[in-house]
Amino acid sequence: MTDELRVLRSDSLGPAAAGAGVPQSLAVARWCAGRGWPVHPLAPGRKTPAGNCTACRESGHSYRDCRCPAAGRWCHGFRAATLDFARIERWWGSHPEFGVGVACGPAGLVVVDIDAHARQLPGRDRLLPGIDIADTVDLTGLANGFHTIGVLGALRGEASPADDGTTLRVRTPSGGLHVWYRAPSGHRWQCSSGSGGGRALAWQVDIRAHGGYIVAPGTVTPSGTYEPLGTVREPAPLPAWLAQELERTGHLPPAHLPAPRPVPPRARQAVLAASGGQGAVHRVLASVLAEVTACGAVPEGAGFTEKLNRAAYTAGGLIAAGLLDADDAESVLREAAARTRPGQERRYGAVIRGGLSAGLTRPLAPGGRL
């Protein structure tokens, strides 16, 4: 075992996760969820999601109307990803053979997936989409994604993401590399396949973002381990030059996509009346925030992350129901977290974003679900 992997399996996972008898997969899932990254099971020994239940495999079934994730089942892959610690304990406690996937969109991540497959070199127009490579340029030695992303960086006067020691990097069993970054807020970067014919950044360089997932560091497969490099265990902000390249290559949704429709005032008043008024909304939020701030009396082991996630999830549901302003909700959540765990802004910020994102999909009224 390398020194880097030993760090992930011990100190950086925290005392609880690294305890004796804890399966590696459960420790990894706990570690990821503790950083606000929703997780879902991967099939044993594979990097694909664990299979759906029989009903979800029927022809014509859609994840959009499926009740399985809400019922605690892992159907539909990354769409079932969760920060619910009880569910995580149940899934990986009962199935330690499962791998761990991280849903990139809800986690606020953009991961550069660099491949090193032995493939025939494509046409020059597909090496760096949108960038002309003259016939006079000698391509001898260019063989994989490490080379193409390096060339792109050199063209922009920047170092290759593969060499970025300021962020979490994970070596894959096939010899590739996952470079993890935090996405800028307000942007929904999209996935792509660097060897496909559509949206792409560079040949043999995939992008994992909204609508996709990434294998968690520390996940063990028969082919090897997804092994973190160096000592950095947190994603750095997405570099500005790389964000510009992703935008140039179509990794942002079209500007004409309609934004979520606000709840009409008349409907909002009806919901308020049915739920007991704005006072009831404040009581619900105050109740979950009180659980968060109560953790301040205990240095560790109080379930702070889980309680903060629950508060953010509840706030997201109230926002989706039109009962709470999004900016106000995030502000009070951050204030409560800062009072309880000062100096951990980066970590609790990810938990808040993940909880709000999940809650926004399930509108909530104090008197019951909408």
**pLDDT tens per residue, range 38-94:** 999 999 988 899 988 888 888 778 887 888 888 888 999 899 999 999 999 999 999
Residue 265 has pLDDT above 70, yes or no: no
Q: Judge if 111 and 78 occupy the same domain.
A: yes
| Averaged pLDDT score across all residues of the chain | 82
What is the per-residue pLDDT for 365?
A: 57
Residue 361 has pLDDT above 80, yes or no: no
Question: CA 309 to CA 347: how far, in whole Å?
Answer: 12
Q: Judge if 102 and 74 occupy the same domain.
A: yes
Residue 261: pLDDT band with limits 50, 70, 90: very low
Q: Judge if 324 and 236 occupy the same domain.
A: no
Residues in the chain: 370
What is the per-residue pLDDT for 253?
A: 75
Residue 103 has pLDDT above 90, yes or no: yes
Q: Judge if 112 and 220 occupy the same domain.
A: yes
CB neighbourhood size of 337 (10 A) = 27
Share of the chain above pLDDT 90, in %: 43
Q: Which domain holds residue 281?
A: 265-369
Last residue of a domain, one of 257, 274, 296: 257
- Please check whether residue 114 is in contact with residue 204, taking contact to mean a CB–CB distance below 8 angstroms: yes
Q: Judge if 202 and 329 occupy the same domain.
A: no
Q: Judge if 162 and 248 occupy the same domain.
A: yes
Top pLDDT among 354 and 270 is at 354
Question: CA 99 to CA 96: how far, in whole Å?
Answer: 8
Number of domains in the chain: 2
Residue 269: pLDDT band with limits 50, 70, 90: very low
What is the per-residue pLDDT for 5?
A: 42
Q: Judge if 121 and 26 occupy the same domain.
A: yes
| Residues 6 or more apart in contact with residue 152 via CB below 8 angstroms | 128, 131, 160, 201, 202, 245
Question: CA 311 to CA 21: how far, in whole Å?
Answer: 31
Phi, psi torsion values for 49, nearest 5 degrees: -60, 150
What is the per-residue pLDDT for 272?
A: 41
Token pair in block for residue 249: 């290559």
Q: Judge if 246 and 271 occupy the same domain.
A: no
Q: Judge if 238 and 91 occupy the same domain.
A: yes
Residue 274: pLDDT band with limits 50, 70, 90: very low
Alpha-carbon torsion (22, 23, 29, 32), positive or negative: positive
CB neighbourhood size of 123 (10 A) = 8
| Residues 6 or more apart in contact with residue 74 via CB below 8 angstroms | 40, 41, 49, 50, 68, 80, 91
Last residue of a domain, one of 230, 257, 284: 257
Q: Judge if 218 and 269 occupy the same domain.
A: no
Last residue of a domain, one of 211, 230, 257: 257
Top pLDDT among 168 and 344 is at 168
Q: Judge if 217 and 297 occupy the same domain.
A: no
Q: Judge if 160 and 287 occupy the same domain.
A: no
Bridge partners of 103? 213
